[in-house]
Structure 1
Amino acid sequence: MDGELFPRERTTIAPGAVHLPDWLGPARQARLLAACREWARPPAGLRTVRTPGGGVMTARQVCLGLHWYPYGYARTAVDGDGAPVKPLPPWLAGLGRAAVAAAYDPPPDGDVTYDTAPYDIEPYDIALINFYDGDSRMGMHRDAEERSPAPVVSLSLGDTCVFRFGNTATRGRPYRDVELRSGDLFVFGGPGRLAFHGVPRVLPGTAPHGLGLTGRLNVTLRVGGLTSGLTRG
């Protein structure tokens, strides 16, 4: 937001969880948005996600690399049109590695014991792209279907949201609410890798005017470690 009294600064939200405001500048945001629009087209495009219990997620989703469905991964859009999932491009995998380096080098708050070296040899191979309109929410959940402990990388485009980052034991308190704006980076790994998190609110009309997006896009990058563990698709 222009004209703020104090600039937003890098913040460690919890052990292993780091928020870097404005990590993507306007040009990189525009490039990522254009790519998301292409990925959202059929086949294996943007879809509504339904849970096994009959619930419907209000945020719509498209996947790259591997297709996430509740609660596993497949090579095809098994709960959509059944088409093969689109590949995750190398430049996006590289963005994930760069995000981890930005978050943990130097280690947050001088925590020299947090070693990110293993993640340098594991390329990011999965992207979940969620689109939120003004009424969309995301309940508290954990990203637990992956076998790799590599950090989750979250990039925000468009409208600001309230991002709730909790603990590893329960969906309830303690948690901390963080305002994520367009271009912000949030990385969580190490002791925070399996923390519950969610989006209780989106703030409509807060996207940068020059971006050309109504609503919010969240690009979440993960390392699956699932080559031998896929059972569907």
Structure 2
Amino acid sequence: MTFDLFEHLEPPEVVRENLAPGAVILRHFVLPQARTILAQVAAVVKCSPFRHMTTPGGYGMSVAMTNCGDYGWVTDRQGYRYSDEDPLTGKPWPPIASLLYQLAVAAAEQGGFSDFQPNVCLINRYAIGAKMSLHQDKDEKNFTYPIVSMSFGLPAVFQFGGLSRSDTVQKCLLTQGDVVVWGGASRLAYHGILPVKAGHHPDTEDCRINLTFRQID
């Protein structure tokens, strides 16, 4: 099956799954553009390579990361924060490509958030066995804006909980082209990714790629 990668921002047969108030999975939402998006990710990586960041506690993250946009999310011994330049290269982060921006805005609108103007795109690469522990996205200045998360490559189990770490957690399998949007009452919900299982994907080989769009000001 072939897809037009350029002309359609909203693919057909999008399946909407409600997770919680303000939180939704849009199945296949960016599937037609997947290979174009991954090519744009590769262009970002040429300028700002993937790296394994260190937490304030001194632990290396299993997920490799980079960013594009006006700012990038970084972590080291000094803490979690946003920076307007890549600490690895000393240069500004690459810009968010127009297609990525438009798709993130369109996904936010589908999730019920019409004023989203993302200026950060955190790009995560999950090798086999890599995971993301339950956490809240709370380094932004304004929690009015949603989080938009796009999945590509190997499938992964997404965990989505409540506002307390001890709340019941839903487990949802995410595959290429799926987008999760959460904001409003769910903006500070705990979420994470279970260890990625071994496999092979024709577009990413042995890894999962995740793009997380945020508006920080």
The answer to whether the superposition gives a TM-score over 0.5 is yes
What SS does structure 2 have at the residue aligned with 1:83? coil
Q: 1:142 to 1:100 in 2, by over 3 A?
A: same
Residue 76 (structure 1) aligned with residue 82 (structure 2): no
Q: Deviations over 1:20-48 (max 9, x none)?
A: 111122x4000001111111124x32111
Contact 2:17 2:24 in 1 (8 A): yes
Residue 222 (structure 1) aligned with residue 217 (structure 2): no
Amino acid at match of 2:84: R
Q: Deviations over 1:131-160 (max 9, x none)?
A: 001110111111111123211000000000
Counterpart of 1:169 in structure 2 is 164
Q: Taking structure 2 as the reference length, what is the TM-score of the superposition?
A: 0.85
Counterpart of 2:59 in structure 1 is 55
What SS does structure 2 have at the residue aligned with 1:140? strand
Residue 91 (structure 1) aligned with residue 83 (structure 2): no
Counterpart of 1:24 in structure 2 is 30
Contact 2:22 2:111 in 1 (8 A): no
Q: Deviations over 1:174-224 (max 9, x none)?
A: 1111110011011001111111111012133263x4x35321000000111
Runs of 5+ in structure 1 lacking a partner? 1-6, 105-115, 226-233
Equivalent of residue 152 in structure 2, options 157, 182, 185? 157
Contact 2:129 2:197 in 1 (8 A): no
Amino acid at match of 1:60: A
Amino acid at match of 1:165: F
Instruction: Specify the structure having the higher radius of gyration (Cα).
Output: 1
Q: 1:179 to 1:83 in 2, by over 3 A?
A: same
CA distance in 2, matches of 1:184, 1:203: 18
Equivalent of residue 49 in structure 2, options 41, 45, 49? 45
Residue 91 of structure 1, CA deviation: 2.6
Q: Higher strand proportion, which one?
A: 2
Runs of 5+ in structure 2 lacking a partner? 1-12
CA distance in 1, matches of 2:200, 2:98: 31
Contact 1:160 1:206 in 2 (8 A): no
Amino acid at match of 1:186: V
The alignment-based identity, stated in percent, is 30
CA distance in 2, matches of 1:197, 1:24: 21
Q: Taking structure 1 as the reference length, what is the TM-score of the superposition?
A: 0.80
Amino acid at match of 1:164: Q
CA distance in 1, matches of 2:97, 2:134: 29
CA distance in 2, matches of 1:11, 1:124: 23
Contact 2:15 2:28 in 1 (8 A): no
Residue 179 (structure 1) aligned with residue 173 (structure 2): yes
Tell me how many residue pairs correspond in the alignment: 199
CA distance in 2, matches of 1:158, 1:89: 20
CA distance in 2, matches of 1:184, 1:206: 18
Contact 2:40 2:97 in 1 (8 A): no
Q: 1:212 to 1:201 in 2, by over 3 A?
A: closer
Contact 1:160 1:204 in 2 (8 A): no
Residue 11 (structure 1) aligned with residue 17 (structure 2): yes
